[in-house]
């Protein structure tokens, strides 16, 4: 009998272990199924989050390939070049739009420079940039753009030529793929402060691999995460053997000696083609590299291939490489609102918001990234907020609510007494009209034309009317000072044109890096040679890529200071376009202009930046790079660059200069413009200290700027501040984006304790309608402006008002009986 007890005890122990295992498994399942609280059911966000957490840097090499990708509809509202100048871009998609534009910028530049050999005489040498040009170009893509975390150029096998090796003319490298990604330098010994600067970059040539290693070959299926490569490569055009398979772009170049040249080169697909120049990848885990979930914008790079055959008819335009720009998936906002106008899909996270649809509707807000709560719940038409609630219900608060809080709150109240908008209306009565003219006295006595800008309280209608009346045919009628506006007219340009400014900062950063790191006199071991100094073709191509890569940039220039460019006293390639959506561009070297008023070194923005950066460079950003280059021309393995790590100093957005708005009447692009200029720096002749080398400037159309008429703090420099026409007692002003340089770019929302009284599909007064009706009052025409007021939220329904009225009548009758 005694021998059976241990077996019984062990069986009991086993049973208990099984029960505990089942219990823990069920608990884990429940924890995974349920959301933050038990009342929140599992949805698409939980599924994607689970898939992301499943993959780590430790287990990603053994994960199945599909597990390294997220569904394609995990990202919605991807920017499309076909819509950029038609529909406004959502604020939560400006970073993606910049990724889109940067990928096009780099693809246009590399396509141009790889074919620029046809501009120069044929010699037994290559005009292609050296390897350091490739490396530092990808570094600048990342260093100048905080939202871009990786940049790379992947060449197809045996398609990359280089000038970095002796005796390598018309030879190709088996693989070549310079890539830069932002490293986490929190524990880096370079920074003793132990803080993450985001200014350290890992730079590698991913083409330097052993010949028999398929898992390291980015062109092989064994690489697993190379969807960005397969979007465009390998190109099928060589099999077609046709010369018209690639889109062509035309550039008219005028040099400093006044000679002209028209150069036509092959590039990425045009904006009017299908699918267009940019393809997006699915979110993928960057296994073995940055070990993050990334999203890529991919654009092909064209070249004439093969080269130097002696028979031009067998050299075909071919996609030989792709430009890949990447950003963190975690930093991309998701749209949890239901599908509808503006959110038509595909969107995996659609309808995961927790707004109560009976009385509220969802509206996305930006800045949340990949997490719940990036929305607010507004009242639907016919409902209003409770009197104790000031603003719409914030999604982040709803997501954190308990079941009791959720089911007993976050509701709007029904409005029982709803007005209908009148079909006919008449002129405002005299005392009403006088009341509003006294309130907005700038409409009673006002100046017109350029004098309207100098009033103490400006009449916004007259100011906008004057600005829009100026065009190339009328600008000669005004004095030069009339064509330069006040600086506060362009309020908001530093936010709305930030992507265009980053383009200028990126090129300035690249030039700074190249001048400080690449030394053409340096001697290396073996066959490797140093990069040559920057050439005119390279600077023309970089400047041209600014205009071609961003449709909002109308002109761009790279202005070198006197005697700072190799073998040139002055050098300033200036690229511009005459109209939108064209494939013809113009480039001029402004060094050919030598009159005092025309020479670019006398421009105010050039003089300002030259004086600002004449002596002290301590505030410049310091960027560190850990560069690993190929062991030899065939690759095989990586080795550290001779200077490891290496750094350079360059400016950021705050180190540039925004001009005041001006009309460039005598310029190449006569229009109301605003210019952003970014400085670049290099070593002096003794390599002892930094010095100012020049400026990169980009120019945008002022009339694409949104006007902000809403109130703001007293120190905010906005000329149009508080010029809205909302009824301040019952409503407040909220800006609306996308209406450009016109009045009415706002809406009048009801204040706390007030309600929108009309039967309408919206719950606010549209600013354009308000401005139009106010204009009718000023002109003494039929108007309904006096009706654009919110109503005190007191009446719940018509029935309750009748009851109160009957009770008052009955009480009055009893008291006087």
Q: What is the pLDDT of residues 720-732, one digit of tens each?
A: 999 999 999 999 9
* Residue-level pLDDT at 483: 94
Q: Is the pLDDT of residue 5 over 60?
A: no
Where does residue 49 rank: exposed (0-12), middle (13-18), buried (19+ CB within 10 A)?
middle
Q: Is the pLDDT of residue 814 over 50?
A: yes
Q: How far is CA 611 from the centre of its chain?
A: 31
Q: 563-601, pLDDT tens digit by residue?
A: 999 999 999 999 999 998 899 999 999 999 988 888 999
User: 88: pLDDT confidence band, cut at 50, 70 and 90?
Assistant: confident
User: 345: pLDDT confidence band, cut at 50, 70 and 90?
Assistant: confident
HSE at residue 178, side-chain half, CA atoms within 13 A, is: 20
Q: What is the mean pLDDT of residues 398-424?
A: 89
C-beta separation of 511 from 565 below 8 A? no
Q: 506-539, pLDDT tens digit by residue?
A: 999 999 999 999 999 999 988 999 999 999 999 9
Residue with tokens 């190249």: 514
638 DSSP β-pair partners: 630
Q: Which of 86-100, 204-218, 389-403, 457-471 has the lowest mean pLDDT?
A: 86-100
Looking at mean pLDDT, say which of 266-280, 329-343, 501-515 comes out highest.
501-515
DSSP 224: -
Q: Is the pLDDT of residue 668 over 70?
A: yes
625 DSSP β-pair partners: 201, 646
CA quadruple 3, 4, 8, 14: dihedral positive or negative? positive
- Which is nearest to 459 in space by CA: 723, 279, 267, 170? 723
805: tokens are 């009225």
For residues 559 and 562, give the distance between their C-alpha atoms in angstroms, rounded to a whole number: 9
Please give the biggest Cα pair distance in the chain: 118
Q: Is the pLDDT of residue 23 over 50?
A: no
Three-state SS for 6-30 is HHHHHHHHHHHHHHHHHHHHHHHHH
Task: Report the SS3 class of residue 603.
Answer: coil
- Which is nearest to 530 in space by CA: 167, 131, 160, 126? 131
Cα–Cα distance list, 696 to 502, 526, 682 (Å): 11, 37, 14
311 phi and psi angles, rounded to 5 deg: -130, 95
Consecutive H or E run containing 479: none
Q: 97-146, pLDDT tens digit by residue?
A: 999 999 999 999 999 999 998 888 766 677 889 999 999 999 999 999 99
Residue with tokens 């073709």: 537
Q: Beta 754-755 vs 791-792: how paired, if at all?
A: antiparallel
Which DSSP string do the residues of 734-748 spell out, in sequence order?
EE-TT--SSS--EEE
* Residue-level pLDDT at 10: 43
Q: Is the pLDDT of residue 686 over 70?
A: yes
87: tokens are 């529909």
User: 465: pLDDT confidence band, cut at 50, 70 and 90?
Assistant: very high
- Which is nearest to 436 in space by CA: 683, 85, 770, 814? 770
Q: Is the pLDDT of residue 373 over 90?
A: yes
Q: Is the pLDDT of residue 322 over 70?
A: yes
Threshold 0.75, pTM exceeds: yes
Show the domains of the chain with their CATH numbers: 91-331+493-702 (3.30.450.20), 430-454+474-483+714-792 (no CATH)
Exposure class string for 493-516: b at 16+ Cβ within 10 A, else e? beebbbbbbbbbbbbbbbbbbbbb
C-beta separation of 304 from 318 below 8 A? yes
User: 86: pLDDT confidence band, cut at 50, 70 and 90?
Assistant: confident
Task: Report the SS3 class of residue 465.
Answer: helix
User: 4: pLDDT confidence band, cut at 50, 70 and 90?
Assistant: very low
Q: How far is CA 710 from the centre of its chain?
A: 25
């Amino acid at each position: 009998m005694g021998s059976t007890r241990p077996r019984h005890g062990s069986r009991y122990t086993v049973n208990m272990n099984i029960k505990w295992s089942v219990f823990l498994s069920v608990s884990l399942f429940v924890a995974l199924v349920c959301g933050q609280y038990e009342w929140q059911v599992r949805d698409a966000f939980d599924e994607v989050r689970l898939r992301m957490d499943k993959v780590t840097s430790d287990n990603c090499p053994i994960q199945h390939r599909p597990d390294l990708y997220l569904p394609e509809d995990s990202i919605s509202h991807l920017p499309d070049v076909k819509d950029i100048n038609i529909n406004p871009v959502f604020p939560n998609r400006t970073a993606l739009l910049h990724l889109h534009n940067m990928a096009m910028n780099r693809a246009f530049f590399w396509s141009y420079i790889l074919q620029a050999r046809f501009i120069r005489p044929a010699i037994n040498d290559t005009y292609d940039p050296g390897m350091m040009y490739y490396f530092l170009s990808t570094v600048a893509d990342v260093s100048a753009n905080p939202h871009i975390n990786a940049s790379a150029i992947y060449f197809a096998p045996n398609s990359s030529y280089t000038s970095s090796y002796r005796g390598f003319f018309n030879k190709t490298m088996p693989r070549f793929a310079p890539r830069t990604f932002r490293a986490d330098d929190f524990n880096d010994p370079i920074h003793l402060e132990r803080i993450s600067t985001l200014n350290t970059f890992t730079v590698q040539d991913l083409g330097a691999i052993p010949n028999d290693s398929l898992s390291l070959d980015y062109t092989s299926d064994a690489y697993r995460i190379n969807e960005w490569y397969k979007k465009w490569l390998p190109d099928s055009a060589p099999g077609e053997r046709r010369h018209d398979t690639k889109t062509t772009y035309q550039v008219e170049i005028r040099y400093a000696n006044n000679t002209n040249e028209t150069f036509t080169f092959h590039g990425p697909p045009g904006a009017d083609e299908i699918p267009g120049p940019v393809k997006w990848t699915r979110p993928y885990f960057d296994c073995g590299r940055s070990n993050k979930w990334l999203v890529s914008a991919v654009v092909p790079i064209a070249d004439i291939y093969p080269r130097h055959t002696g028979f031009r008819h067998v050299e075909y335009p071919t996609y030989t490489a792709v430009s890949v720009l990447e950003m963190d998936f975690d930093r991309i906002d998701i749209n949890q609102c239901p599908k509808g106008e503006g959110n038509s899909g595909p969107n995996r996270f659609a309808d995961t918001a927790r707004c109560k649809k009976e009385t509220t509707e969802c509206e996305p807000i930006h800045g949340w990234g990949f997490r719940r709560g990036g929305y607010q719940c507004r009242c639907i038409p016919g409902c209003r907020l409770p009197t104790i609630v000031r603003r719409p219900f914030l999604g982040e608060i709803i997501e954190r609510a308990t079941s009791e809080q959720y089911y007993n709150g976050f509701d709007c109240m029904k409005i029982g007494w709803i007005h209908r908008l009148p079909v006919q209306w008449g002129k405002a009565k005299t005392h009403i009209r006088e009341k509003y003219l006294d309130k907005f006295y700038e409409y009673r006595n006002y100046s017109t034309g350029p004098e309207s800008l100098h009033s103490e309280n400006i009449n916004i209608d007259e100011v906008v009317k004057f600005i829009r009346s100026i065009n190339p045919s009328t600008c000669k009628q005004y004095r030069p000072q009339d064509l330069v506006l006040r600086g506060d007219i362009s309020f908001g340009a530093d936010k709305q044109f930030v992507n265009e400014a980053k383009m200028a900062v990126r090129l300035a950063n690249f030039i700074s890096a190249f001048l400080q790191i690449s030394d053409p006199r340096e001697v290396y071991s073996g066959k490797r040679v140093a990069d040559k100094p920057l050439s005119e073709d390279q600077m023309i191509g970089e400047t041209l890529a600014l205009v071609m890569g961003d449709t909002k940039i109308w002109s761009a220039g790279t202005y070198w200071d006197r005697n700072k460019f190799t073998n040139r006293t002055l050098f300033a390639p200036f690229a511009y376009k005459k109209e939108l959506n064209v494939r013809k561009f113009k480039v001029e070297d402004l060094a050919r202009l030598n009159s005092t008023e025309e020479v670019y070194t006398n421009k105010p923005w050039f003089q300002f930046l030259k004086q600002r950066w004449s002596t002290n460079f301590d505030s410049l950003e310091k960027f560190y790079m850990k560069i690993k280059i190929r062991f030899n021309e065939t690759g095989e393995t990586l080795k550290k660059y001779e200077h490891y790590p290496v750094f350079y100093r360059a400016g950021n957005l705050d180190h540039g200069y925004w001009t005041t708005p001006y009309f460039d009447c005598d310029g190449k692009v006569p229009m109301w413009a605003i210019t952003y200029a970014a400085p670049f720096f290099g070593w002096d002749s003794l390599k002892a200290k930094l010095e100012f080398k020049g400026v990169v400037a980009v120019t945008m159309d002022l009339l694409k700027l949104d006007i902000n008429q809403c109130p703001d703090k007293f120190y905010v420099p906005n000329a149009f501040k508080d010029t809205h026409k909302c009824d301040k007692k019952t409503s407040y002003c909220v800006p609306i984006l996308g209406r450009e340089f016109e009045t009415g770019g706002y809406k009048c929302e009801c204040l706390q304790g007030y309600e929108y009284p009309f039967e309408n599909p919206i719950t606010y007064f549209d600013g354009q309608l308000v401005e139009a009706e106010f204009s009718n009052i000023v002109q003494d025409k039929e108007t309904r402006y006096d009706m654009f007021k919110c109503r005190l939220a007191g009446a719940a329904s018509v029935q309750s008002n009748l009851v109160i009225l009957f009770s008052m009548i009955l009480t009055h009758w009893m008291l006087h009986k």
